[in-house]
Structure 1
Amino acid sequence: MCAAVIGGMDRLKRDYINAAKREGVKLKVFTGKENRIAPKLGSASLIILFTNQLSHAARRDVINHAKKNNIPVEQAHSCGVSSLRECLNRS
């Protein structure tokens, strides 16, 4: 499975990737500073949004992309590694 994380902290990027790898998930991480995230998502089968580190416009853009492509979206307010694990386990 390939998932994408949008939001989160730059310093935790490597930790997010390692935690997902332990769950058997290939992870793309966009910390929210990138422009136009939705076209860069590729073939993600799950999108995880960390809403406390993400602009409203970016969130809307990603959710609209997910709806058009039937991609499930998990949202969490906190952006810790444990929140990522919880989102991955729910899906």
Structure 2
Amino acid sequence: MTLLVVGGNERMKRDYINLGKEKGYKTKVILNMSSKALKDFGSPNAVVMFTSTVSHKLKTVIETQAKKKNIPVIRHYNN
């Protein structure tokens, strides 16, 4: 199973990947909007989005792709 983590803290990227590996997921992390964000999306089984640290544009792009491919999006807002 693959998991895509969108947003979060740059220093925590390695922790997101390791935590996913512990749970049995191959994990990709997209922290910022870039020209390759759409290419990096791929076809994960689920998307976890930290909405407080994601730009509106990146949020829209990821949600649109997930909807097209019928992939569940788990949103988390942290203060």
Calculate the TM-score normalised by the size of structure 2: 0.90
1:8 pairs with 2:27: no
The whole-number CA distance in structure 2 between the counterparts of 1:50 and 1:36 is 19
Output the CA distance in 1 between the equivalents of 2:38 and 2:45.
Answer: 13
Aligned sequence identity (%): 37
Q: Trace 1:1-91 onto structure 2 (pairs within 5 A).
A: 1-35=1-35, 37-78=37-78
Please report how far the alpha carbon of residue 40 of structure 1 lies from its aligned counterpart in structure 2 after TM superposition: 1.6
Structure 2 unmatched runs, 5+: none
Mind listing any 5+ residue stretches in structure 1 that lack a counterpart? 80-91
Q: TM-score, normalised by structure 1?
A: 0.79
Tell me the alpha carbon deviations over residues 42-88 of structure 1, each in whole angstroms, 9 at most, x when there is no partner. 12111111001101111011101100010110000129xxxxxxxxx
Question: Which residue identity is paired with 1:45?
Answer: N
- What CA RMSD, in Å, does the superposition of the two structures yield over aligned residues? 1.6
The letter of the residue matching 1:28 is: K
Say if 1:7 and 1:50, in contact at 8 Å, map to a contact too: yes
